[in-house]
């Protein structure tokens, strides 16, 4: 763990920012750098259900621009909280959320993943895939799931 990075996936939600606090704390504790990843997935399929854009490519560019801006803001906040000498790298990926997080864990020399769980219950749990739970079962490194 002491020679590897901590990976923290984010969807820019309040719950994800709570998990990020734990990731920063763990990075400072172990003296390792932090890698923040956001995965862009197809939000509405190819039809985009009436959203007014000139093209699918334009929508993708707008989503990517917004994601990069959010990652940059978070990166600046993280740098203020990390111990001296530690770094943060932001990564923007496209595709299936679970597959991309697992792929980033493989290429990024990751020693631990810190991810938020939205804590859905009942029918909401059945209708929304639980990325954190599946990630904990499939990842090759330890996973800290933060509620």
In this predicted structure, what is the pLDDT of residue 79?
Answer: 97
Give the number of other Cβ atoms within 10 Å of residue 4's Cβ: 17
pTM of the model: 0.86
Q: Which residues pair with 93 in a beta bridge?
A: 39
Q: Which domain holds residue 17?
A: 5-146
The CATH number linked to 35 is: 3.40.50.620
Q: What angle do the packed helices 14-30 and 56-81 form, to 10 degrees? A: 40
| Phi/psi of residue 145, nearest 5 degrees | -100, 120
In this predicted structure, what is the pLDDT of residue 24?
Answer: 98
> What is the number of domains present in the chain?
1
User: How many angstroms separate the Cα of 96 from the Cα of each of 83, 109, 122?
Assistant: 33, 20, 24
Tens-digit pLDDT string for the chain (147 aa): 666 899 999 999 999 999 999 999 999 999 999 999 999 976 555 554 555 556 778 878 888 999 999 999 999 999 999 999 999 999 999 999 999 999 999 998 899 999 998 755 555 444 456 889 899 999 999 999 998
Give the number of other Cβ atoms within 10 Å of residue 36's Cβ: 21
SS3 101: helix
């Amino acid at each position: 763990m002491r020679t590897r990075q901590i990976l923290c996936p984010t969807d820019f939600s309040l719950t994800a920012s709570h998990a990020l606090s734990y990731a920063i704390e763990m990075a400072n504790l172990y003296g390792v750098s932090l890698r923040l990843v956001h995965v862009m997935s197809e939000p509405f399929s190819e039809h985009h259900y009436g959203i007014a854009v000139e093209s699918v490519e334009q929508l993708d560019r707008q989503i990517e621009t917004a994601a990069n801006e959010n990652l940059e803001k978070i990166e600046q906040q993280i740098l203020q909280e990390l111990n001296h000498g530690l770094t943060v790298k932001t990564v923007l990926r496209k595709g299936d959320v679970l597959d991309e997080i697992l792929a980033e864990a493989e290429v990024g020399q990751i020693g631990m993943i810190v991810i938020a769980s939205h804590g859905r219950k009942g029918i909401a749990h059945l209708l929304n895939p639980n990325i954190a739970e599946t990630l904990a079962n499939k990842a090759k490194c330890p996973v800290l799931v933060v509620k």
